[in-house]
Amino acid sequence: MADEKAPEQQKKTRLIDLFLVFAKIGVMTIGGGLTMLPLLQREIVERTKWATEDELLDYYAISQCTPGIIAVNTATFVGSKQRKTLGGIFATLGMVFPCIVIITVIAALLAEFAHYPVVQNAFRGIRAGVCALMLNTVIKLFKKSVKGVLTGAIWLVVCLGMLFLNISPILYVVAAALLGIVLHAETREGGPLK
C-alpha cells in the first residue's frame, strides 16, 4: 500500500510550480484574458498536462459565466484541480502578479511617452498581433466545440444574435447552455433531434 502512494505523491503538483507556470503565462501575455488562451492551451494541456483539451474548454465556458477575467478564472480552476484551495490561490496569484507589476510600471510611464509616434505605432502593431492570437483561439475552440448539426445551430444562432441584437453576452451563454441540455436530453431519449 505504501508503494502505491509513493508514485502518487511524486506526481503531486508543487504550489510553486502552479505559481510559476501561471506567472509565465501572465508575463508573456499582452491584450487581456482572451489572448492568454493560446498560452494556456500550450502550457496547461500540452506541456504540464494539468488538464485535457476538453477540461480546458469546460473551464473556458465556466469562466465566461463567472465574474472576472477568463484566464484568471481558468487558472483558479486548474489550480484547484491540482491542489484544491491552495492550488487555486497560488495559480490565481501567479496569473495576476506579473500583470499588476507591469500595469503599475506602464501606468507610471505611459502618460509621459504616449504621445510619441513610435509608442503609438507599437500599440497599433500589438493590437493587430492580439487580433491574430484571438482568431487562432476562436478557430481552435470552434473545431473542438462545434461538432454536428445541433452545436452548429447553437453557434449560428448565438453569432447572429450577437451581431444583430443588443443583449448581454451572459444571456447568450445561459441560453446556449440550456439549449444544449434540452437538445442533448432529446437525442439521448431517441427523440427526433440527432
Q: State mean pLDDT over 158-182.
A: 89
Cβ atoms of 32 and 99 closer than 8 Å? no
Which residue has better confidence, 1 or 36? 36
Q: Quick check: is 69 in a domain?
A: yes
Same domain, yes or no, for 119 and 166? no
Q: Quick check: is 2 in a domain?
A: no
> What would the pLDDT profile of 12-21 be if each residue is shown by its tens digit?
889 999 999 9
**Region of poorest pLDDT, from 30-34, 134-138, 144-148, 150-154:** 30-34
Same domain, yes or no, for 80 and 21? yes
Domain extent for 166:
146-194
Cβ atoms of 94 and 101 closer than 8 Å? no
Same domain, yes or no, for 80 and 108? yes
Number of domains in the chain: 2
Q: State mean pLDDT over 176-193.
A: 72
| Cell of residue 158, nine digits | 448565438
Eight-class DSSP state of 165: -
Q: Quick check: is 1 in a domain?
A: no
CA 41/CA 52 separation, integer angstroms: 9
Q: Quick check: is 91 in a domain?
A: yes
Same domain, yes or no, for 41 and 74? yes
Q: Quick check: is 119 in a domain?
A: yes
Q: CB count, 10 Å around CB of 11? A: 7
Same domain, yes or no, for 137 and 173? no
Q: State mean pLDDT over 35-50.
A: 87
CA 94/CA 169 separation, integer angstroms: 28
Instruction: Report percent pLDDT > 70 for the chain.
Output: 87
Which residue has better confidence, 183 or 30? 183
Same domain, yes or no, for 61 and 131? yes
